[in-house]
Structure 1
């Protein structure tokens, strides 16, 4: 049974429709990440769940109960904001326990809850400090502690790591995931960072212009993106998307991609998709992740269909554990992910292995995945 369920949700500000019929559901203890570019509606969606924004149409249910008409204080949710929103004149302990104090919770019970949360977040040594004496990561832990102490049904996180530097973001990401595994509370988390989404989520909702583009597990969204937007947005580096033409000989289908010089690249499309043969001569977009395009020695030995082709290497980008090589196919810059010591030189030809088990095809008109 779905614990948090959103059905046909719409939200308009005047004549501007910001959310356009969103359908989502997450099981109890799930970690739902709302991801998309700025202005896609993800924070607005989070605010409707919190009750900070009224909805124009649709239903939001928590644990089987509609919360459409409930005040935020009656929804049994807790929210962690991007800006921390700590009281500067209070200590860490005061910030964590302030909500309980307002609700009239006895001091002994408050102190016990503060101590429990401080131990969970490893901030016990900070309880007597003021926010001005804390680092950004410590302030974010305090903001999380203020939410945790309430023990709500649902935690809402609104881009909580966006103000932190790169290394601290990685550290805090790990802490949030560890916290979720330990507590098992339902979480809805907003971010524009697709790496955060892939790392944290049990389910991801990708939004664009107020429309839900795809909803699924991180593996589903990464390996089988529903459309060109999801393919391009999710992944770093993003999926290579190459204009191509379908060729067919009976049931055998091939992908034909132009090169700036020389004969076109021809790859057999080995997946069993019978309807593709009927689209012979049609334009498609061939999608392949950088890690599925690599040097032959690094190719997946368990892959059933791997084709090797010679490609002109334009740029080499060493990245420590990997090397990225840039070539050009179909008028597009294509990124291959190679092992660190791959013997490839910019300005020369190199043999690259295409793992066609991981390839996908899109219709350039509808932009939807067709295979």
Structure 2
């Protein structure tokens, strides 16, 4: 049963529609990540759940109760902001306890709750300090502690890690994941960072221009993107998207990819069962393949049902420690291949690469929607 349910939600400012018919639901204890580029409406959606923004139409229900029109204080939610929003004149303990004091929670109960969250977040040694004496990561922990002592039905996080440096952001991401696994609370989390979305979420909602592009598990979003926007936005490096022609080959359907310098096109066989590609024979499609599904033959997934190999011109080689990235030319575009760290390739040479066609996806060039 869904714990947080958003139904046909619309939000407008005058004639400007910001959110357009959003439908999302998540189970109790789920971790929902709202992701998309700047201006897509994800923070506005979070604010409507919090009650900071009224909705134009639709419904938001928490634990089976519609919260439309209820003030934030009546929704049993707690919010962690990007800016931390700590009181500078209060100690860490005072910041954590402030909400409880307002609600007239007894002192003994407050102190017990402060100790519990301080131990959980490893900030017990900071309780007597002021926010100005803390690092960015420590301030974010305090902001999280202030939300945790509320013990709300839903936690809302609005880009909480965007002010931190890269290493600290990774560390805090792990802390949030560990916290969720321990507490099993329901979380809605806004980010523009698709790596954060993939690593934290049990469900992801991808938004663009106020429209929900896809809603599903991280694996569904990554492996079966609904359209070219999701395919390109989710993943680092992004999915390779190439113009290809569907042809009838000796063993069934195949895709033909142009190669540079007058070389013959590269022909790759397709397992077309359920892919809906039969109706596209003789037509152009967009062929999508992740960098990790395009690799050196020795590094290819031996469990793949459909592996094909082809010679590709290497343009650039980028060693990256655990991997080597190669930029090759195919389908009139630069394509990223992810090879083993010790793969022996050099710019300007033609190298044999393996295509894991189990991982290939195809899109209609006009509608940009996945075929099949």
Give TM-score, length-normalised by structure 2.
Answer: 0.98
Contact preservation (8 Å) 1:250, 1:277: no
Question: What residue is the counterpart of 2:202 in the other structure?
Answer: 202
Query: How far off is 1:270 after superposition?
Result: 1.6
SS of 1:29's equivalent in the other structure is coil
**Mapping of 1:238-253 within 5 angstroms?**
238-249=238-249, 252-253=252-253
The alignment of Structure 1 onto Structure 2 pairs a total of residues equal to 371
CA deviations on 1:184-212 (whole Å, 9 max, x unpaired) are 00000000000000000000000000000
SS in 2 for 1:141: helix
Please state if 1:30 is matched with 2:27.
no
Match of 1:237 in 2: 237
Q: For 1:222-251, what per-residue CA distance to the aligned partner results, in whole angstroms no more than 9, with x for missing partners?
A: 000000000000000000000011112598
Match of 2:283 in 1: 282
1:328 aligns with 2:345: no
Distance 2:162 2:280 in 1: 45
Give the whole-Å Cα distance in 2 for the aligned partners of 1:26 and 1:119.
29
Note if 1:18 corresponds to 2:18.
yes
CA contact (8 A) 1:84 1:139 kept: yes
Say which SS state the counterpart of residue 33 (structure 1) adopts.
Answer: strand
**Superposed counterparts of 1:169-188, under 5 Å:** 169-188=169-188
Question: Which residue in the other structure is 1:297 paired with?
Answer: 298
Tell me, yes or no, if the aligned pair for 1:248 and 1:277 is still in contact at 8 Å: no
The one-character-per-residue Cα deviations of 1:98-157 (angstroms, maximum 9, x if unpaired) are 001011111111111111110110100000000000000000000000000000000000
Structure 1 segments unaligned to the other structure (5+ residues): none
CA RMSD of superposed structures (Å): 1.0
**Unaligned stretches of 5+ residues in structure 2:** none
Residues 63/270 of structure 1: CA separation in 2 closer, same or farther (3 Å cut):
same
Say which is worse superposed, 329-338 or 243-252, in terms of deviation.
Answer: 243-252
Paired residue secondary structure (1:89): coil
Q: Which residue of 2 aligns with 1:166?
A: 166
Detail structure 1 runs of 4+ shifted over 6 Å in the superposition.
none
Kindly indicate whether the alpha-carbon contact (under 8 Å) linking 1:325 and 1:336 is maintained by their aligned counterparts in 2. yes
3-state secondary structure, aligned to 2:310 = strand
The question of whether the paired residues in 1 share the 8 Å contact of 2:251 and 2:269 is answered with no
Distance 1:267 1:301 in 2: 18
The C-alpha deviation readout for 1:296-343, integer Å capped at 9, x for no partner, is: 000000001101101000000010000000001111110000000001
- Contact 2:9–2:57 under 8 Å retained in 1: yes
1:150 alignment counterpart: 150
Q: CA–CA distance in 2 between the matches of 1:277 and 1:155?
A: 47
Checking the alignment, whether the CA contact within 8 Å between 2:19 and 2:45 is kept in structure 1 is yes
Question: Matched residues in 2 for 1:274 and 1:118: separation?
Answer: 52
Would you say the 8 A contact 2:82–2:163 is kept in 1?
A: yes
Report the equivalent of 1:106.
106
Q: Distance in 2 between matches of 1:295 and 1:189?
A: 37
**Partner SS, residue 235 of structure 2:** coil
Cα–Cα, structure 1 residues 9 and 251, in superposed 2: closer, same or farther, change >3 Å?
Answer: farther
Work out the CA distance in 2 between the residues paired with 1:203 and 1:274: 25
Equivalent-residue separation in structure 1 for 2:304 and 2:249 (angstroms): 24
In structure 2, the residue matched to 1:90 is 90
1:6 and 1:275 mapped to 2: Cα distance? 32
- 1:259/1:251 Cα in 2 relative to 1: closer, same or farther (>3 Å)? closer
| Contact 1:121–1:141 (CA under 8 A) maintained in structure 2 | yes
> What does 1:28-67 align with in structure 2 at a 5 Å threshold?
28-67=28-67
Displacement of 1:14 in angstroms is: 1.3
